[in-house]
A and B are shown apart, each in its own frame.
Chain A
Amino acid sequence: MGKSWLRDYIIKRLIYAVIIAWGIVTITFVLVRVGPSSPADKYLANMAASGQDVSQITTAIEARYGVDKPIFEQYADYMVNLFQWDWGWSFSTSMPVIDLIKTHWIYSFQLILLSSLFAAFLGILIGIYSAVKQYTKIDYTATFLSFIGISIPNFWLGVMLILLFSVKLGLFKAYYDTTLPLFSLENLKALVLPVITLGTGMLAGYVRYTRSAMLDNLRKGFVTTARAKGLPERTVIGKHAFRNAILPLFTIIMFDLGSIVFGGAYLTEIVFGIPGLGQISFNAIFADDYPVVVAVTLIGTFLILMINLITDVAYTYLDPRIRYD
């Protein structure tokens, strides 16, 4: 069976994605510039203290960064540059934005990837077990712990983990060491606390979603059929029931993957001093480094749009009944 309608659907969604991304860039671009602060602000206190003319300095700095021009002109310039793959100049770090992102994206990526894998793998496993052992002590314990896990804010958890494992026990470093090579055990060890911090909330959520999705399916007719065929319980649960429970889980996992780029990962990076996109975006906001703020927002938007598209396309393979035409 061909899925010719799927190609048209993907093209349509890509066109929407470009339009939405453009809208978000425009809104962010305007918002950061209409605020009362200016990239010159951080110099002003020192300047004023040493008796220099503040307004002159402001004008000079704003002229240097090109933010003195009318906003429409700035916007036109930015868009033209963007289409030539020029993401602008970072005021606060004095380097092209594209280079800044190239150096820092990997730190976010490794954190998000490891946390998601950790949460999805453990969460699904515990969830299935909990559903199969419904109303036993194991199930009650898992449900209770996952309730706690969902309720803990991850920045608080991060601070508590640092206090316990770094300060009291000295097992892990309290601060992420950027000098470590990426593909090394030391780096993995340095990521243990951040991954637990970012992953716990997701893990707890997946336990609950998996449990309820499995319970929905474990009593279905086809599960009885699978048993009646003589299949071992492992196959009945792992294949026949779980394969039907995947759809809602997949939705949640992919949604989380999109949303932690702006949410949990952001905070976790700041708590542990991981120089990822969240960290540079955080610094850029306080430094009024407009091009970086817009660029990180654009990347996040694009990621979420792509993750949503991948999710919707994957649905048609996970559940053959789903069609979009």
Chain B
Amino acid sequence: MGLETPSIPRAIFKVMNNTILGVSHLKTYFFTRRGVVKAVDGIDFELKRGECLCLVGESGCGKTVTALSILGLIDSPPGRIIDGEVRYNNLDLVKCSPTQLRRIRGKEIAIIFQDAQSALNPVFTIGDQIVEQIRLHLGMKYTEARDKAMTLLKEMGIPSVERAMSYYPHQLSGGMKQRAMIAMSLSCDPQVLIADEPTTAVDVTIKAQILDIFHELKAKRQMSLIFITHDLGVVAEIGDRAVVIYGGKVVEMAPVSKIIGNPKHPYTAGLIDCLPDISKTTDRLASIPGTTPNPIELPQGCPFHPRCHKAMEICSQQQPPEVRISEGHEVSCHLYQ
């Protein structure tokens, strides 16, 4: 080790520069033939340095679209970010040039997709796909980049790395593919890592191993993580703070302990009630009645009111304001006004 950077106590560091990525009033709409899909309809959150922020919600609530919007990866047409900003290092990623954005993608902010099977290119080897990214951003020679790629794969717990480098995605198991995907996203030492349901497409044992990798990323690299999931068990295990999203809007935002222990929004409470409890025997698992609203015709007022058992008259008329319950715990619900 050469020069040692003087270690700054984390508390001071936090005061100095707390937020690494800020998303505000983000609105991403899809203009389809059947109507305007308001997939993300005014989402705000801040990712703090070194924390793991979980975006939680059912399928179709806008979690993935939020992640893709951050990096400008929305397919256009039909999608478009119509409003809001994504602040990263004094730069608004929504308005910056395609070239600036390309320099950030994969280098500063990396993303891991849900299904490594379709996210990896079937006709290139794992090695080539990782090396490509390293050489693009770090300007390394092929052999150097190859060594780096192998080190990363080894770190991710992939056995016989040399051979794995020459494998095509179809020759690896689902868990191995996901590890390769994570290795690829980490290859340029990004500041922020967005993980879009990285454990959804793998089975339970692999899920535990993948989560271990994320634990290590937090512990060793102090990685700032945006972890997208619908699984509150995963949130409890890995998250520092959670943002609960419903109908393209944030309904509750709080530290994970409060989300799990003291949920305020009826939707969050419903999600937690749905978690099966192994100590109790029940015939039926709990569920939230109804289905996620059609994003083309979101209900008036609070998008959750048709399914909410505490709904009042005002809920179908007015959008609920953001209410502060305690330090860092905010909820958008008429109940707490």
Contacts and interface: CB of A to CB of B under 8 A. Distances in A.
A224 B119 contact: yes
Interface string B108-126: 0011010100111111100
Contacts of A321: 122, 168, 170
Band of interface residues on A: 20 to 34
B132 A229 contact: yes
Interface residues of B, number: 31
Contact of B119 (A219, A225, A243): A225
A221 B111 contact: no
B104 A225 contact: no
A222 B119 CA distance: 4
A130 B168 CA distance: 30
Contact of A228 (B103, B106, B115, B137): B106
Given A222-B121, A222-B122, A225-B120, A230 B107 contact: yes
A47 interface: no
Nearest to A232: B102
A244 interface: yes
Nearest to A1: B166
B197 to A, nearest CB: 13
B105 A230 contact: yes
A230 B136 contact: yes
Contact of B123 (A221, A228, A230, A243): A243
Interface in B30-79: 68, 71, 73, 75, 77
A220 B120 CA distance: 10
Nearest to B101: A230
Contacts of B122: 222, 244, 319-321
A180 interface: no
B28 to A, nearest CB: 15
A177 B328 CA distance: 86
Given A231-B136, A319-B123, A220 B118 contact: yes
B292 interface: no
A211 interface: no
Interface string A305-322: 000000000000011110
A189 interface: no
Of A222, A231, A232, most B-chain CB atoms within 10 Å: A222
Contacts of B170: 320-321
A225 B113 contact: yes
A320 B168 contact: yes
Contacts of B316: none
Nearest to A244: B123
B168 A227 contact: no
A227 B105 contact: yes
Contact of A240 (B71, B107, B121): B121
Interface of A: 1, 135, 219-222, 224-233, 240, 243-244, 318-321
Given A222-B121, A228-B110, A229-B133, 12 more contacts: A224-B68, A224-B113, A225-B121, A228-B106, A230-B137, A243-B121, A243-B124, A244-B122, A244-B123, A318-B123, A320-B123, A321-B168
24 contacts: A1-B166, A135-B77, A221-B115, A222-B121, A224-B68, A224-B73, A224-B113, A225-B113, A225-B120, A225-B121, A226-B121, A227-B73, A228-B73, A228-B110, A230-B133, A230-B136, A231-B102, A231-B106, A231-B132, A231-B136, A233-B98, A243-B124, A318-B123, A320-B168
